[in-house]
Structure formats: C-alpha cells, structure tokens
Chain A
Amino acid sequence: MRSSQELKLKGIPISPGIIIAPVKIIKKKKIECKERILKPSEIEEEVSKFTQGVERLKSVLNELKTETSEENLKRLLDVQISIINDPEMQNDVILLIKNKRRNVESAINSVFSNRKELLMKHESSYIRERAREIERLGMDLVAIINNSYYKEDFKFDGIIATESLSIEEALRIVRSNAKGVVTEKGGRTEHSAIILRNFKIPTVFGIEKITKLVEDDDIVILDGGKGVIIINPLESTQDRYFLIKRGYERYESGLASEKDLPAVTLDGKEIGIFANIDIPKEVEELMESGKYGIGLFRTEMIFNEYAQNEEEQYRIYRDIAQKIYPNSVTIRAFDVGGDKFYNDYSEDNPFLGLRGIRVLLDEQQIFEKQIRAVMRANVYSNIRFMIPMVSTYEEVVEAKKIFIRSKKFLEKEHGEINQPRFGIMIEVPSAVFTLEHIAELVDFVSIGTNDLTQYTLAVDRKSIRVSKLFNHLHPAVLKLTKITTDVCREKNIVVASCGEMASDPYGVILLIGLGVDEISCPPSRIPEVKSLIRRINLQEAEQISLEATEKESPREVKKLVGEYLRKIMPELLEFYE
C-alpha cells in the first residue's frame, strides 16, 4: 500500500489548525461478537463475566470522570455510566444468556444494536446522534469482557491516526500531548468531534484507510480547516505549510483580537452583524460568543409541533426576544410548502408552487396565530417580522392587512401592543422589479441570496446534474441586488442580507459594495466576516461591485473580487475550504 510519493487526501474538516509532525497509528483490535450457543454448564459463568464487565467498565468511566475538570464533559460521562447501569439493558442481556444460551459477547451486541436501531428512529436529531455512541459503548463492554479493552496510549508528540474515536478516547487525547488527530470514520456532530474542537486540537475525520496508508513516524501534514492530509510531503510542501501554519496562528489571534470591535469599514460605515438561528438552543451559544442580534430566526423547526399553538409560540418568541435584548431578532413567518397542509398534495414543481406567503395567505388562521404570538412577544420592541417568498405587490398588501387587523384585535384583548417592524424577503426577481411599490408597505427587506439565485438562474442547487450552475456571484444576481439596494436607499429602508452569500468572503465584499446595511450569517462565521468588513474600504468595494455587475460570468466576478480580497485579507484565502 505504501508509496514514497507525496499523497494529498481530502476528508471532513473537524477542528482547524495546521500540524506538520510524525504520525502514530493506533490500531484497535477487532472486537469479536460471534454467536455461540452455550452449554448449560457455562451459563452461570457467562452471566458473571457480564456483571463483572459492567463493574469494570463503570470504574474505568468513573476514573476518567474524576480526572476531568470540565463540567460538561463530566455530564457526558454520567450519561455513559448510567447507560451501563441501565437495569433493562442488563436484564435483556442476562435473559439472552440464560434463556437463549447466547454467549455474552453476542448477547451484548444484539441488545445494544437493537437499542441503537430504536433510537435511530427517534424524532429528535439530538437523540439520533447519540444512537451510534450507544453502540460504541456496547463494543467497549464486549472488549473489556474479553480483555481486548485497553487504554490506548495517546501520549505522543505528533499526530494520532486511528479508525474512529469514542468520547473517552477523545478525552484521553485532550489530556495527552498529541498535537493532531486523523481518523477513518466519524462526522462533525459526534461528541468526539465536538470535544476536539472545543479543545482546539486540529482534526480531520473521514480519511479512508489512513491507518494503512501511513507507518509510525512518517511525517504528515494535517490541515484541520480544509480537511486535508498530506502523506510523505515533499520538502517544498513542508516549507509552504510552515509558512501557512505561522500565518494561521497570526490570523487566529487577529480574529480573536477583533471579536469585540464593531464591524466598521475603513471609511466609516458600520455594518450590522447578525446571526442565523435554526433552533432556540443556539440562542444561548450566541449569547456566549458575543452579543449579536438574530438576523434570521427560521420558524419552520417549530411548525409541526406548534403551528396551531399561539401560546407556545408566544412563549418561544418572547423568550428569544428577552434573551437577545437589547439586540433585535428577525422572526421569519413559516416558510413551508403546500404539502404540509393538504394530504396527498404534491406538485410537479414545488419551488414554483404553493410555498411561503402563498401558503400563509391560503391558511390564514395559522398565519394569524403566528402574527398574534409575535406581536404579544414584542414586549421589548426588538422583534422584526418577515414574510418569505414574496412575488407580488398584492401579497404584501394582503399580509400587511392581516398584520394590522391582528394588532387591532389584540389591542382589544390585551391593551397596547408594540407593533413589530414589518418586512419581506427578497427572493424572487418579480419582487425586486416591483420593489418601489412594495417598499411603501414595509420597514425593511432582507435579501435571501440562496433563493434569489435559484429563481434568477432557474437552477435547483439540490439537483446534482445542474447544481454547478448555481452561483450567487452571477452578475444577474448582483444586478438584482443593486436594484434592491438602490430602491431601499431612495425609500430610506434598511436592507439586510442572509443566505450563503452573506458568509462567503467574495459575497460579503459585493454585498457591502452594493449597499447592504446588515449581514446575517451562521454564528461560527461571524468573527471572520467581521474582520473582513473591517478591512473593506467602502468606496473601493462600491467601485468593484459596480464593475462586477457588468461582467459576463460568475468566473470573471470571482476573479475581480479575488484580486481585492487578496489585497485586503490574503490570509483568508489560505486557511479554509
């Protein structure tokens, strides 16, 4: 398998940072769970193997817990300990041994995989993510019973290469002096990934066969930000990466040092920075990361459960508004398709069918409940309410009517109501071309760059064969953005932007240059977007953006903006995918 040629492999970026170091392979013994039918005389001993194994694994986990100081990691271990302690799980295993005369390894294997399968079907993605970890724990139990469990030695001044990582192993790595990690399996949301990210250990997952492609002490370059591994790097490659590494370290400390500074361009325009939020849980993380408002709270996540429940919606919205105060939160009305309402309703072309505001006007009672909840929740006057998928002026007239009517009803019931600011998403070209009229009815607009690109270029980016045509840097998208910002400036209303363009450095330069006032992006991208804005000269960006709208293709736009990006923030082009 091994060759002396330089070999570059691409995996999943888990935790950023660059390491150039020797590698150590940690191979795990394959855990055997072969089924065997016991002789009656063996049963007693098999049961006691199981109960002893449980005790031993528990003490391993407890030991790890006492050595860990982080509260949240202790809690993770508590979950594992109580799974091992689970009386039903234990009972199921013992019954298989006693009644079916199954050997302990295969009994454990069946019980844990069965539990995993059940949990994989759970409604909550949070529980589903735990399912695989439960299966791993079962394997640990088997390993400890047949003495193939041992605490891998991660004390190595270099990069650890292994098949996959359990939570305990990730914790051991954190406490060892290992510099980086590469694995064959695993995904971004696994606990082991989260742990390594929290402790800033550069990591790449998903490099197939890595444990076979390298030998101990081979030099490997690991680029955690791009998810790249280079085996047997040439000297020139190593030199290049030494420079990148040094640059990255400077870059990181630079971003951190600017974290609390305002996003002001070099010539003095302050850009509002907001976060996109999918689930209420993210609000807390946002509060920790620095105080930003929420530029897009998608309510689809609570649609199934609470669309008919005004009270519950009210509680959720009020809670978020309160937590985020004095910043603001933009709540987007349910952006769902018609299939959510009508059984057997399906369309040949749902993206051009019943969705967004079209649905809400069709199902006014749901729309009214949401409006009422939002209005009641606006105790701190920091909520904005936003209508998705607007394509005509009449839709906005109708939506605004319902909005105002709801307010009047509410005031009869609850006394005075703070009217939230009312806005629309700009996602459909027809809304852009009639914006001068629509603008009379709204307080703000937000350009949803993903849908605007889709509807402008007639490209479904989920369609594998055409998705390469999808590009938010297309001059047509830029022209539509320009019309939008021009109208808004004239009518004196705020233009925000959300969608991927608002966290793509090229996109950010163009949006700012075209006159967008606020940027909303995923929380993790905020520090970078902020640093970038602080390096932009608005006048220069305006010039470049204007030029970009006249280009013939996205490629030419990218080239033009790339030159500017290289000038103002070259580091950025180096470190990320």
Chain B
Amino acid sequence: MKEVKVTIKNKLGIHARPATMIAQTANKFECDVYVSKDDIEVNGKSVLGLMMLVAPQGSEITIKCEGADEDEAIKAIVKIVEDGFGEE
C-alpha cells in the first residue's frame, strides 16, 4: 500500500472539476484509491464521493493506493493535486 499527504494549492479547493480530474485519473488504474481529509475517507474513483470532502486551499489530504499498479497511480494523482488542478 502506498500513502502520500498532499496540500491543496488551488484557490477553490476540491470542487466539481478537481474531483472529476482525480476520479478520471484514478479510474485509469486497477488499484483501489482512497482519498481522506480529517475523519472522512472516500473512494478516489467516485467523483460524487470526492465532492463530499471539505478540502479548501491550504488543507492537506491523504491519498492511499492499494493494488498492482499502486506506484504509478499514486504518482499520477499526486501530480494533479500538486499542479493545483491546472487552476490558480
């Protein structure tokens, strides 16, 4: 299992579009993906689940991947978050 903490950089935090980007990427991989913030953990492949997280700019989320391609998956997802979802 791989686990990484990342900080949300974009101004609006996780809203519909960033949630979509995470889910789209997560769905490209076989492994299970979980994203958590505080006490809430959601399925990283579920855009509706991701939208439930309250993750504003500056907050820290934890990404967990478990499965055969966990290394590639976590790298890809962390990159999207670190790039601020291509937003300001």
Contacts and interface: CB of A to CB of B under 8 A. Distances in A.
Interface of A: 75, 78-79, 82-83, 85-89, 115, 118-119, 122-124, 126-127, 130, 134, 280-281, 284, 305, 312, 315
A123 B54 contact: yes
B23 A82 contact: yes
A393 to B, nearest CB: 38
B15 A88 contact: no
B15 to A, nearest CB: 5
B27 interface: yes
Contacts of B16: 79, 126-127, 130
A89 B48 contact: yes
Given A79-B20, A82-B23, A87-B46, A119 B51 contact: yes
The majority secondary structure among interface residues of chain A is: helix
A79 B12 contact: no
A351 B36 CA distance: 41
B13 interface: yes
Nearest to B58: A312
Counting contact residues on chain B (CB < 8 A from A), the size range is 20 to 34
A119 B15 CA distance: 11
Contact of B11 (A79, A115, A280): A280
Given A82-B47, A280-B11, A75 B17 contact: yes
Interface string B66-88: 00000000000000000000001
Contacts of B24: 78, 82
B56 A127 contact: no
B52 interface: yes
Interface string B36-71: 000000010111110110101010000000000000
A138 to B, nearest CB: 11
B29 to A, nearest CB: 13
A82 B15 contact: no
Given A82-B23, A85-B27, A123-B54, A115 B15 contact: no
A502 B43 CA distance: 48
A87 B45 contact: yes
Interface in B8-34: 11-13, 15-17, 19-20, 23-24, 27
A83 B49 CA distance: 10
Given A87-B43, A88-B43, A89-B46, A118 B15 contact: no
Contacts of B43: 87-88
B23 A126 contact: no
Contacts of A122: 51-52, 54
15 contacts: A78-B17, A78-B20, A82-B47, A86-B48, A87-B43, A88-B49, A89-B46, A119-B52, A122-B51, A122-B52, A126-B15, A126-B16, A127-B15, A127-B16, A130-B51
Contacts of B19: 79
Contacts of B48: 83, 86, 88-89, 115, 119, 134
A85 B28 CA distance: 12
A312 B9 CA distance: 12
Contact of B20 (A82, A126, A280): A82
A115 B49 CA distance: 9
Nearest to B49: A88
B88 A118 contact: no
Contacts of A281: 11-12
Nearest to A85: B27
B16 to A, nearest CB: 5
A449 B11 CA distance: 30
Contacts of A119: 48, 51-52
Contact of B54 (A78, A124, A280, A312): A124
Contacts of A312: 58
A61 to B, nearest CB: 13
B47 A86 contact: yes
Given A119-B52, A134-B48, A124 B13 contact: yes
A85 B50 CA distance: 13
Q: 6 tightest CB-CB pairs across the interface, nearest first?
A: A88-B46, A82-B20, A82-B47, A79-B20, A79-B16, A126-B15
A122 B88 CA distance: 22
Given A78-B20, A281-B12, A312-B58, A118 B52 contact: yes
Contacts of A118: 52
Contacts of B12: 126, 281
Contacts of B45: 86-88
Given A78-B20, A126-B12, 14 more contacts: A79-B16, A79-B20, A82-B24, A83-B47, A85-B47, A87-B27, A87-B45, A87-B46, A88-B43, A127-B15, A127-B16, A127-B51, A134-B48, A281-B12
A272 B12 CA distance: 30
A271 B21 CA distance: 45
B62 to A, nearest CB: 19
A281 B15 CA distance: 13
A305 B15 contact: no
B69 to A, nearest CB: 17
A364 to B, nearest CB: 25
A79 B21 CA distance: 8
Contact of B46 (A79, A86, A127): A86
Nearest to B22: A82
Contacts of A284: 88
B31 to A, nearest CB: 13
A102 B85 CA distance: 39
A79 B52 contact: no
B77 to A, nearest CB: 14
Given A86-B48, A87-B43, A88-B49, A79 B54 contact: no
B56 to A, nearest CB: 6
A308 to B, nearest CB: 13
Contacts of A123: 54
